[in-house]
């Protein structure tokens, strides 16, 4: 009896396994079929160079119906095909849903089947989405930038632009990109972050938030540094919210990402050269011009070249409370990079004179970092205190100390307030900031 029962159970298990295999094979076959149909229809549309016209939808419907003849598809599968093609015509192809997903902050297309997204600071590969071929990617890029009057082709193989919704797009195609077209989109968040969002995410402590707010209100000149995607621009936007509403603010960016809530804001944006190689307007041009616009505050989205000297000059000539960001691995590295930028600008100034200029101009250096678990932390807030052995000295006021990585992948660490009253505290008090005594007592 026991042997017979075992055989029966074994037969049932085998039959179930075969059924699972059949279901998997059927699902796989349908997926392959749907992908083939989708590719065939889209390729036909590309070959016919279909544009968005009044008769286009009729053509597309006819094309889909003709392509699906002879296939036994369910209503769900048929609707799936229609939705894919609708995204291709009225949206942006395979990445349409990614653009609409609020949880996705960045989209990276490295190839037809190599699409990555960033969610909560983590980069993951999208295995269920693909382009047909490299030409399909280029066509999607062209659709994205067409409404803003930009083009991309072999004679103009690189574009860096701000889309109509505020998202930042960068695309590179051959001959500059040896691996084919590459597309990167940093999505614009309609719900702008504020200091409470930073506190809830654990990016800083209430003491740090109060200190940074005090520095902005007291018109300290501040630099935010960090790596790519660390959150520099987001933090810059948050700090800008502390500026009084009666101040005249001028923002200067390559692609406008800052969204200040104050009323008296003038936003300036650089311009690339035209087809004749003329008409370029750089960050430096805008910084120089902004000094003639009677600013109370100058906010530069990012310094990375000759404009560094002009920014420091503005800070040193009465334009206190200026804010900017730059790429650097830490506060000391940020100051070194400023030196290098000024030297590369061809300024015939002794290195000590440059350092004195930096020391007088900058008050606070903030370093923000994206940790290995994807979370963003303000890992250092430092003040410039003077010189030692001809080198600018920094005093770290707040810091985040990483202890290790837990089993679930989360970084283990703690925020610390370094001992001693910072030198800048007296300046803050002299400028009317009186509510930090409990932090530094």
pLDDT class for 37, splitting at 50, 70, 90? low
pLDDT (tens digit, 9 = 90+) per residue, 95-152?
888 998 888 989 999 999 999 999 887 889 998 788 888 988 998 898 898 888 888 9
pLDDT class for 90, splitting at 50, 70, 90? low
Look at residue 6 in the predicted model and tell me its pLDDT: 41
pLDDT class for 47, splitting at 50, 70, 90? low
pLDDT (tens digit, 9 = 90+) per residue, 347-361?
788 999 999 999 999
Measured CA to CA in angstroms, residue 198 lies from 59, 264, 384 at distances of 50, 25, 25
Percentage of residues in the chain with pLDDT exceeding 90? Answer: 46
For residue 247, pLDDT over 80 is answered with yes
For residue 337, pLDDT over 80 is answered with yes
Distance CA 381, CA 400 (A): 9
Look at residue 306 in the predicted model and tell me its pLDDT: 86
Look at residue 133 in the predicted model and tell me its pLDDT: 86
Nearest CA among 333, 384, 341, 128 for reference residue 227? 333
> Which carries the bigger pLDDT value, residue 323 or residue 15?
323
For residue 50, pLDDT over 70 is answered with no
Domains, the chain: 1-79 (no CATH), 92-189 (3.30.450.90), 195-440 (3.40.50.300)
Look at residue 79 in the predicted model and tell me its pLDDT: 72
Distance CA 293, CA 43 (A): 53
Q: Residue 5 in 3-state DSSP?
A: helix
Q: How many CB atoms lie within 10 A of CB 187?
A: 22
Q: How many CB atoms lie within 10 A of CB 402?
A: 14
Percentage of residues in the chain with pLDDT exceeding 70? Answer: 80
| CA 69 from centroid of its chain's CA atoms | 44
Give the chain's mean pLDDT. Answer: 83
Q: Residue 232 in 3-state DSSP?
A: helix
- The CA-based dihedral angle spanning residues 261, 263, 264, 266, taken in that order and rounded to the nearest 10 degrees: 60
The encoded tokens of residue 154 equal: 């072999």
Sheet holding 411-417, edge to edge: 265-269, 249-253, 297-300, 323-327, 222-226, 364-370, 376-388, 391-405, 411-417
Measured CA to CA in angstroms, residue 178 lies from 108, 110, 114, 256 at distances of 16, 11, 15, 29
pTM above 0.85, yes or no: no
> Which carries the bigger pLDDT value, residue 177 or residue 346?
177
Q: Is the peptide bond before 259 cis (omega within 30 degrees of 0)?
A: no
The encoded tokens of residue 163 equal: 């889309």
* Half-sphere exposure for 171 (CA within 13 Å, toward CB): 26
Look at residue 318 in the predicted model and tell me its pLDDT: 81
Distance CA 86, CA 93 (A): 8
pLDDT (tens digit, 9 = 90+) per residue, 153-182?
888 899 888 887 878 899 999 999 998 999
Radius of gyration of the chain measured on its C-alpha atoms = 28
Measured between its terminal Cα atoms, the distance across the chain in Å is 84
């Amino acid at each position: 009896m026991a042997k017979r029962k075992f055989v029966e159970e074994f037969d049932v298990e085998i039959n179930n396994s075969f059924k699972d295999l059949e279901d998997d094979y059927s699902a796989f076959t349908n997926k392959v079929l749907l992908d083939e149909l989708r590719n065939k229809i889209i390729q036909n549309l590309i070959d016919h160079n279909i544009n968005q016209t009044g008769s286009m939808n009729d053509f597309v419907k006819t094309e889909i119906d003709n392509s699906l003849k002879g296939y036994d598809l369910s209503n769900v599968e048929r609707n799936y095909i229609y939705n894919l093609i609708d995204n291709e015509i009225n949206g942006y192809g395979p990445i349409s849903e990614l653009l609409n997903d609020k949880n996705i902050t960045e989209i990276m297309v490295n190839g037809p089947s190599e699409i990555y997204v960033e969610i909560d600071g983590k980069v993951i590969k999208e295995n269920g989405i693909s382009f047909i071929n490299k030409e399909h990617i280029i066509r999607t890029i062209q659709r994205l930038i067409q409404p803003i009057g930009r083009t991309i082709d072999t004679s103009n193989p690189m574009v860096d632009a701000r889309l109509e919704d505020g998202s930042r797009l960068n695309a590179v195609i051959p001959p500059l990109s040896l691996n084919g077209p590459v597309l990167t989109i940093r999505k614009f968040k309609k719900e702008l972050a504020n200091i409470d969002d930073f506190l809830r995410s654990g990016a800083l402590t209430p003491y740090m938030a109060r200190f940074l707010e005090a520095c902005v209100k007291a018109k300290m000149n501040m630099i935010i540094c960090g790596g790519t995607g660390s959150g520099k621009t987001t933090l810059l936007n948050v700090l800008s919210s502390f500026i009084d509403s009666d101040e005249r603010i001028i923002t200067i960016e390559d692609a406008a990402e800052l969204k200040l809530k104050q009323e008296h804001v003038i936003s300036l944006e650089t311009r690339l050269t035209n087809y004749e190689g003329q008409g370029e307007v750089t960050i430096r041009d805008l910084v120089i011009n902004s000094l003639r616009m009677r600013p109370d505050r100058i906010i530069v989205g990012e310094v990375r070249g000759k404009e560094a000297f002009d920014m420091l000059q503005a800070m040193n000539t009465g334009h206190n409370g200026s804010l900017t960001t730059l790429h650097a691995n830490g506060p000391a590295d940020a100051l070194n990079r400023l030196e290098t930028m000024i030297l590369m600008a061809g300024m015939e100034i002794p290195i000590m004179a440059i350092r004195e200029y930096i020391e007088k101009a900058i008050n606070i250096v903030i370093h923000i970092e994206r940790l290995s678990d994807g979370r963003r932390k303000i890992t250092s807030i430092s003040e410039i205190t003077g010189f030692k052995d001809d080198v600018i000295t920094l005093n770290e006021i707040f810091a985040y100390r990483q202890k290790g990585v837990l089993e679930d992948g989360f970084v283990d660490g703690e925020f610390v307030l370094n001992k001693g009253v910072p030198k800048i505290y007296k300046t803050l008090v002299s400028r009317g900031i009186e509510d930090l005594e409990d932090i530094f007592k």
